[in-house]
Amino acid sequence: MKFHTRQIQRKFKHALDFGVTGNYNQISAAAFQAALQKHVSDKNTQVIKGTYRGKPAAFYVNMNTRQTVIEDALGNFVSGWKLSKEQLQHVLIDGKLV
């Protein structure tokens, strides 16, 4: 998965969902990216192909924590957060989030 600084900054509002605290800066951005990468490579993370906001995407979902990281069709990081129970069901059943 490719991570771009601008997208990490845009989605930093979800950093706490991955255990990263504090305000955005280079150190916290690197910690957020590392947490996302760790989640993606975790043995408990499943990849579910589907759509996010109508576009092809892959959801890297951990069923135990409900955390997800979303990747677009080109392999770019889109977003990541802790899914609500309802959102998790949509991903599992429909393969999509809107």
Write down the pLDDT at residue 98: 82
CA quadruple 76, 45, 91, 48: dihedral sign: positive
Q: Is the pLDDT of residue 71 over 90?
A: yes
CATH number of 5-97, picked from 3.10.450.200, 3.60.15.10, 3.20.19.10, 3.10.20.30: 3.10.450.200
Write down the pLDDT at residue 92: 94
Residues with Cβ < 8 Å from 38, sequence gap 6 or more? none
**Entry pTM:** 0.94
Number of H helices, E strands in the chain: 3, 5
Domain ranges, ordered by start, for the chain: 5-97
pLDDT tens for residues 34-70? 999 999 999 999 999 999 999 999 999 999 999 999 9
Identity of the residue numbered 69? V
Rounded CA gap, 31 and 57, in Å? 24
